[in-house]
Amino acid sequence: MFKFSRLFFVYVIAALLALILGYLVSSPDRTTFMVIIGLLFFFSLPFFLKWHHVLLIVFWNSMFNFAFLPGSPDFWLTLAFLSFGISFLSHIMFQKRFLRAPELTYPVLFLAAVVVFTGWYRGGIGVRALGGASYGGKNYITAIGAILGYFAFTAERIPIQKGRKMADWFFLSGAANALSSLVYMAGPAFYFLYLVVPTSAAIEQASSEYAVASGSGVERISALASTSIAIFCFLLAHFGIRGLFDMSKPWRFVILCLTVGAGLFAGFRSAMATLVFLFVFQFYFEGLMRTHLMPVVIGLAICGFIPCLFFAQSLPQSVQRAISFLPVNVDFEVGQDAKASTGWRHEMWADVWKDVPKYLIIGKGYSVDPEVIYMANLATHEGAAPAYEGAMVVGNYHNGPLSVLIPFGILGMIGFVWVLIGGYRVLYANLRFGDARLRLINGVLLSYYLAYCISFFFIFGAFNSELNYFLGICGFSVSLNGGVRRRAAPKRQPIPAPQTLAMEPG
């Protein structure tokens, strides 16, 4: 009787849900999608309770998003809030503890306090997509999500036997960013995939094609930049530089060359510089400076540079632009495009730097009035304002230090630098004192981290879109190593017991 009642109750609920969904589907809109997503989430909750930490690792470096939801939240951002919430509740209920990393805990909390205070002081966190009166609220949410995501990483330890597999997913998931360009090239029949694949790279590619058609730009496949870096990190973590140069398995070196070659077609000088820094750091951490690979690498670099020196103008324009920072002769149009890109940034930086004293104590925040954005774009279109006016208004400074100083002032810069220093200490300790089976992965994590730090401060940086990279690397390292590894305490030698002299009679 009990089984029959329970089955009857399930059928009634299923019938009601079917009626509700049938009514909503008859007139589909955004509300319909949100209801369906809510029901799917409810029924898949047991799955998330078990696999939330793994999903966080898999999607952290990918750019998938929910384009059909307000604000188009990224997968990693949604999983960061979800995973942290599940981890926090489970740790309260079952009295489990997060993995300890005090070198990062205090600076991360300080940075979070600065972000929240600035948002509150500057008028709150308004999200235009959710009906707010201003733009910029998503940047606050992204920064907070990156911080919560770091703590979600540290909620569980990755078993050592699964460390390499999780590292492969962590790095290789970034290669999915190429899907944006692939869907664009596949044609309208596949555009439905843009419900979960971001359109930013496709828009940049279409804009570059239009610029080439009008004779004022260089065609680039921008998604290949992040994709090549992701595959490069995967190869280093899986094989190491020594393994990639193992001539008994030449296919590894071929894949390495194809990866770097694909990155050249993105046309970004910053991507090539990041790959170079990443390789140099990893070469050092693997201890290859005094091995036979040192002259081999130098010889390959010379052999690769000489053709570029003499035949650079015969290469595709996107490749020429990517190597234009080298002392080579590139096509005149490519050189002008690269100089123009650098020139307007320098002009914007000089203009923005004047506002630093104004926002030095309390930052400007991210909130922007929509009318200000409209007027800036209109002035740029009419030629009454410089080309960078729109980017400057929304805080897209193309400069790492300015992207911290202007929104969050000196306290934000102190907190961010403190986070970077703490992250380096954690990564270096895990490389030096961690398990020998994880040494290669720990080396790549530290190399990846340092390469991004250099790129952020000296090449290109954006705090609102790159904080998750820094904290993701650190959080994954803490999860992989079970915290922060310390130098093993020397074993104490047992103190011998004092020997008593036998008393001779007499």
Residue where one domain finishes, among candidates 269, 304, 330: 330
Residue 12 lies in a domain: no
Contact present, 33 and 69 (Cβ < 8 Å):
yes
Percent of the chain with pLDDT over 70: 85
For 161-204, how does the pLDDT look when each residue is reduced to its tens digit (9 = 90+)? 999 999 999 999 988 888 888 888 888 888 888 888 888 888 88
In this predicted structure, the answer to whether residue 280 has a pLDDT above a threshold of 70 is yes
DSSP conformation class of 233: H
Q: How many CB atoms lie within 10 A of CB 261?
A: 12
Q: What angle do CA 16, 20, 21 make, to 5 degrees?
A: 115
Q: Are residues 278 and 369 in the same domain?
A: no
Residue 339 lies in a domain: no
Torsion of CA 176, 457, 149, 119, to 10 degrees: -120
Token pair for residue 11?
A: 């059928």
Q: Are residues 406 and 296 in the same domain?
A: no
Q: Are residues 181 and 214 in the same domain?
A: yes
Provide φ and ψ at 87, rounded to 5°: -65, -40
Task: Please give the biggest Cα pair distance in the chain.
Answer: 119
Indicate the number of domains in the chain: 2
204-218, 336-350, 462-476: which is most confident: 462-476
Report how far residue 224's alpha carbon sits from residue 171's, in angstroms, rounded to the nearest whole number.
Answer: 15
In this predicted structure, the answer to whether residue 504 has a pLDDT above a threshold of 60 is no
Split at pLDDT 50, 70, 90, the class of 152 is: very high
Residue 311 lies in a domain: yes
Split at pLDDT 50, 70, 90, the class of 131 is: very low
Give the range of the structural domain holding residue 184, as residue numbers without chain letter. 165-330
| Per-residue confidence (pLDDT) for residue 342, from 0 to 100 | 81
Instruction: Tell which wins on pLDDT, 166 or 316.
Output: 166
Nearest to 147 by CA among 201, 182, 108: 108
Report how far residue 59's alpha carbon sits from residue 72's, in angstroms, rounded to the nearest whole number.
Answer: 15
Q: Are residues 188 and 316 in the same domain?
A: yes
Q: Enter the pTM of the model.
A: 0.87
| Per-residue confidence (pLDDT) for residue 506, from 0 to 100 | 44
Residue 455 lies in a domain: yes
Q: Are residues 292 and 417 in the same domain?
A: no
The stretch 149-169 carries a mean pLDDT of 93
| Per-residue confidence (pLDDT) for residue 138, from 0 to 100 | 84
Q: Are residues 260 and 326 in the same domain?
A: yes
Residue where one domain finishes, among candidates 304, 330, 356: 330
Residue 188 lies in a domain: yes
Q: Are residues 298 and 322 in the same domain?
A: yes
Q: Which residues contact 378 (CB under 8 A, 6 or more apart)?
A: none
Provide φ and ψ at 248, rounded to 5°: -75, -15
Residue where one domain finishes, among candidates 277, 298, 330: 330
Residue 90 lies in a domain: no
> 34-43, 227-236, 244-253: which range is least confident on average?
34-43
Q: Are residues 219 and 284 in the same domain?
A: yes
Q: How many CA atoms lie within 13 A of 108 on its CB side?
A: 24
Residue 255 lies in a domain: yes
Q: Are residues 317 and 449 in the same domain?
A: no
159 by DSSP, 3-state: which?
Answer: coil
Instruction: Tell which wins on pLDDT, 487 or 100.
Output: 100
Nearest to 443 by CA among 228, 284, 290: 284
| Per-residue confidence (pLDDT) for residue 185, from 0 to 100 | 86
What are 65's strand-pairing partners? 74
| Per-residue confidence (pLDDT) for residue 477, from 0 to 100 | 96
Q: Are residues 176 and 274 in the same domain?
A: yes
For 48-69, how does the pLDDT look when each residue is reduced to its tens digit (9 = 90+)? 888 899 999 999 998 888 877 7
Q: Is the dihedral of CA 401, 463, 458, 450 positive or negative?
A: positive
| Per-residue confidence (pLDDT) for residue 351, from 0 to 100 | 86
Q: Are residues 300 and 407 in the same domain?
A: no
Question: 275: part of which helix (H) or strand (E)?
Answer: helix 269-285
Residue 91 lies in a domain: no
Q: Are residues 209 and 309 in the same domain?
A: yes
